[in-house]
Structure 1
């Protein structure tokens, strides 16, 4: 990956809907050259896909929580979480805690219902999210960064 590929990745992370013409202008290449580079980045797996980010508040899912589980049945907990509509992310981790679940739900009552339904799979420790930040742009790892 060279600096132009890195710039393409940064631009696409800022705006995945950018036209190839605009992207080409921003990295000072022709549209066909940029299209070819994007295609190669996709084929190499550097770009996994494109998605729409939805506003959870506008969807009335105003309660977010991080729940730590000491699981007694990892497979069943994983299946439960993967099939639950409120679960955004589920991580199996090493250590005393076996799963970390991030969810967004409609109310404290629906959060309580999730916790009750998950109890057969392990012991939860619930942390309600008060605020959060998200890193929206991941800088590519370039060879020049390794030399510093």
Structure 2
């Protein structure tokens, strides 16, 4: 089954997306050189990708451990009907949450949370428990952090950002 997007991307769009996923700080001059366009043409292509919502944002990736949050946990949450986290709370009450995904199945949410210590985890779980049952898993290591989306060719070609010590097979 071929993957479809709302906007059809040509090979140059895919080159731009690959380059920006690897380094979003590229100048339009350097981006254009890498993909075979002039600087103004590269800027226009990027603007169109942004306007179409394909490029959603740019930002720095922070090593949470180096800013004092070395404990990474994933929490599956099954909210009580009248205490749904999505409906009765806001992000400001849980600044430790890096990502929150709505799920199908037996749990309604999956949370990715960065914490400073086991004591912080205990306090966080206590605050979260008012919303319902939870299953907490502590990440012991991270094998890769991000994948470059590269679906230009038929099939899926994801290139993981390999972390030191992980052997490709």
- Correspondence for 1:125: 135
Change (3 A) 1:114 1:74: farther
Change (3 A) 1:75 1:51: farther
Report what 1:47 is aligned to: 55
Q: Distance between the aligned counterparts of 1:49 and 1:99, measured in 2?
A: 24
Quick check: 1:72–1:121 contact (8 Å CA) kept in 2? yes
Structure 1 unaligned segments of length 5 or more: list them. Answer: none
SS of the aligned residue for 2:17 comes to helix
- TM value normalised by structure 1: 0.90
- 1:89 aligned onto 2:111: no
Comparing both structures, which one devotes a greater share of its residues to helix? 1
* Inter-partner Cα distance in structure 1 for 2:74 and 2:108: 13
Q: How many residues align?
A: 144
Shift of 1:73: 4.0
- CA offset digits 1:118-144 (Å, max 9, x no partner): 1111011110001122223111x33x5
Residue equivalent to 1:30 = 38
> Matches of residues 1-148 of structure 1 in structure 2 within 5 Å?
1-73=9-81, 76-78=84-86, 79-80=88-89, 82-83=91-92, 84-132=94-142, 133-139=144-150, 141-142=151-152, 144-145=153-154
Aligned equivalents of 1:110, 1:73: Cα separation in 2: 27
Is 1:80–1:118's contact at 8 Å kept on the other side of the alignment? Answer: no
CA contact 1:92–1:98 (8 Å) conserved in 2: yes
User: TM-score, with normalisation over the residues of structure 2?
Assistant: 0.79
Kindly state the Cα deviation for residue 38 of structure 1 after the two structures are TM-superposed.
0.8
Q: Cα RMSD (Å) of the superposition?
A: 1.7
Q: CA deviation at 1:12?
A: 0.5
- Please state how far the C-alpha of 1:82 moved relative to its aligned partner: 2.2
Residue in 1 aligned with 2:3?
none
